[in-house]
Amino acid sequence: MPAVPPTYPRLSPLETGVRGRCPRCGEGHLFNGFLTLAPRCEVCGLDYSFADPADGPAFFVITFGCLPSIIFAIWLETAYQAPYWVHLFTTLPLLLLTCIPPLRPLKGWLVASQYFYKAEEGRLVKPGE
């Protein structure tokens, strides 16, 4: 009698991705380091080679994190002509806090979404296929 492969529930990509968990079982770790994807899930064995978020996390962080921080820096400079040391203690921490922490949850969410929606690399379809 052949072994029946285990079935997994469809987990929310937002919940599993933000927590950095496996998109199939929700238990294993998605990352080896801060942003390095693990080769596979240590619990269910899902191979993460399908995942390629590319520059997606960086784009979202730059658009929604860095841009408001830079606008704040420009406003601070034009409104108060702040010296550089003021920018060092206000703008730099704001920039770091709005750019670095969201990278990992965003990358996890994008990888989990690729698994959930079965996203694949685009390819040309030849006539007759």
Confidence of residue 107 (pLDDT cuts 50, 70, 90): very high
Cα 86 from Cα 81, distance rounded (Å): 10
**Average model confidence (pLDDT) across the chain:** 92
Cα 84 from Cα 45, distance rounded (Å): 51
Question: 128 in helix, strand or coil?
Answer: coil
Q: How far apart are the first and last CA of the chain?
A: 36
pLDDT(122) > 80? no
CB-based contacts of 117, cutoff 8 Å, min separation 6? 13
Confidence of residue 4 (pLDDT cuts 50, 70, 90): confident
pLDDT in tens, 8-53: 999 999 999 999 999 999 999 999 999 999 999 999 999 999 888 8
Where is average pLDDT lowest: 43-47, 52-56, 88-92?
52-56
Averaged over 90-97, what is the pLDDT? 94
CB-based contacts of 79, cutoff 8 Å, min separation 6? none
Whether the Cβ atoms of residue 70 and residue 94 lie closer than 8 Å to each other: no
- Give residue 89's pLDDT: 96
